[in-house]
Amino acid sequence: MGAILQIKPVTDVPAQRCASANPRDPAFFQNPYAFYAERHATEPAFFWEEYGHWCFAGFKDVSALLRDKRFGREILHVATREELGMPEPKAHTAAFDLTEQHSLLNLEPPGHTRLRTLVNRAFVSRHVEQLRPRIVKLANEMIDSFEHQDSVDLIKAFAAPIPAIVIAEMIGLPADSAPQLLAWSNRMVAMYMFGVSHETELDANQASADFMAYLRAIIAERRQQPREDLLSHMLTSDRDGDRLTDEEVMSTAILLLNAGHEATVHTTGNGVKSILESGLDPAALFADDKQTEATIEECLRFDAPLHMFTRYALSDLEFNGINLRKGDVVGLMLGAANRDPARFANANSFDPFRADGANVSFGAGIHFCIGAPLARIELQIAFSELFRRLPKLRLAEEPKYNDVYHFHGLEKLMVRWS
């Protein structure tokens, strides 16, 4: 399946609806919000020249498009490659493509409904609430491990390990495999970068092959001896004789491991940065459960970790005056929608006390993030424990974002606390 790409060139776009920004330009990915502010001030529904497809930056449009059944993540169920002018899959990314083929994110109903129903039970709020004590313990262990130092990279020492260990344990993989899982995952998500190189494709493919070989061995073990974990649950779940295949279980486990930590890590980094730069008193931001929830939602709104998701138009259609052909791609700009001045007062200010709080950081509609209840709990605990233990936390150097526009997150976050 690979990345969702506009194949047939779109022509006849009026000049005033076109906008240009190179997603690999450091000035852009360090601060995409300047570009978003221009779009909001001019045409929030615009044709992004570098991507070659229409994009939507308005909160109302993004919310509507996420729920609009005329758009989908998959296209080959309604059109052939030939019809779309889509090239054949590349042989050297076969292993990566296999992990994507059964990914919930790339499926549409009825395949999506079937898989999501089987996985969903593990992620309902009632279930993930039980993980609270484990997450509190993990957060404190991480802080114990670096507290004696002068300064630390909070991404490596705190933000990354917690969600990786939580999701690995939930799936049923040992906690000490988390660094290896993180390494595979990082190499795989490089495929979502704008303008992926051949080397990156080869590397992501190798990581996918290694990841699958690892999971295949564990799946064989669980088939012999099921345990109380998500992997065993997926292998044994039976709905009217319908069971998940090994490939489906592997794809889902990989998606959960990748999606399950990458966005949470970035939200932690971006959110801690927002708080420290705001100069607000952390004690007030985490004064009680209600305010803690509001602070985390504002972190998710203000500096979202995932800035663009795409959809295919499943037929020739019109959306708000824009004519799209079957197979055309649209970019839903979550990070921009969250800063829409038509939806939020002082949209560009970080304000955890705002009365109009909301965000589309977890998406909406049938692909709404399955891990949202878990991510929210992880973030609420991680942030409140961090600022409770280290109330004098401050930036030790200016943080820099990674060169992966879609995954808007920090390379590192150097902090001090003495």
* CB 114, min distance to ligand HEM, A: 11
- Residues 288 and 295: their CA atoms lie apart, in Å, by 10
Q: In whole angstroms, how close is the CB of 367 to ligand HEM at the nearest point? A: 4
Cβ partners under 8 Å of residue 95, min gap 6: 205, 206, 208, 209, 212
**Are 212 and 250 in contact, with CB atoms under 8 Å apart?**
yes
Q: CB-wise, 1 or 306, nearer to ligand HEM?
A: 306
Shortest distance (Å) from residue 91 CB to ligand HEM:
27
Q: Radius of gyration of the chain from Cα atoms?
A: 21
Nearer to ligand HEM, 182 or 369 (CB): 369
Residue closer to ligand HEM, measured from CB, 370 or 417 = 370
Q: Which amino acid is at 275?
A: I
Give the nearest distance from C-beta 151 to ligand HEM in angstroms.
Answer: 25
Nearer to ligand HEM, 135 or 417 (CB): 135
Q: Are 307 and 32 in contact (CB under 8 A)?
A: yes
Cis ω for the linkage preceding 110 (within 30 of 0): yes
Best CA proximity match to 256, nearest among 94, 120, 379: 120
Q: How far is the CB of 111 from ligand HEM (least distance, A)?
A: 11
Q: What residues contact 106, with CB distance under 8 A and at least 6 apart?
A: 1, 73, 74, 100
Whichever of 260 and 282 has its CB closer to ligand HEM, that residue is: 260
Contact 120, 370 (CB under 8 A): yes
Residues 6+ apart with CB under 8 A from 96: 2, 188, 191, 201, 204, 205, 208
- In the complex, the residues that contact ligand HEM under the rule CB under 6 A are 66, 104-105, 116, 167, 255-256, 259-260, 263-264, 267, 305-306, 309, 361-363, 367, 369-371, 374-375
CB 362, min distance to ligand HEM, A: 5
Nearest approach in angstroms of CB 41 to ligand HEM is 25
Residue 258 CB-half CA count within 13 A: 27
Q: Which is nearer to ligand HEM, 194 or 396 (CB)?
A: 194
Q: Are strands 71-72 and 53-56 parallel, antiparallel or unpaired?
A: unpaired
Of 130 and 225, the one with the shorter C-beta distance to ligand HEM is 130
How near is the Cβ of 267 to ligand HEM at its closest, in Å?
4
Task: Tell me the closest approach of the beta carbon of residue 322 to ligand HEM, in angstroms.
Answer: 20
Is the distance from CB of 163 to CB of 266 less than 8 angstroms? no
* Half-sphere exposure of residue 120: CA atoms within 13 angstroms, side-chain side: 11
Rounded-to-integer distance, Cα 360 and Cα 368, Å: 9
* CB nearer ligand HEM, residue 103 or residue 417: 103
How far apart are the C-alpha atoms of 399 and 150, rounded to whole Å?
Answer: 17
Residue nearest to ligand HEM (CB): 371
Residue closer to ligand HEM, measured from CB, 105 or 347: 105
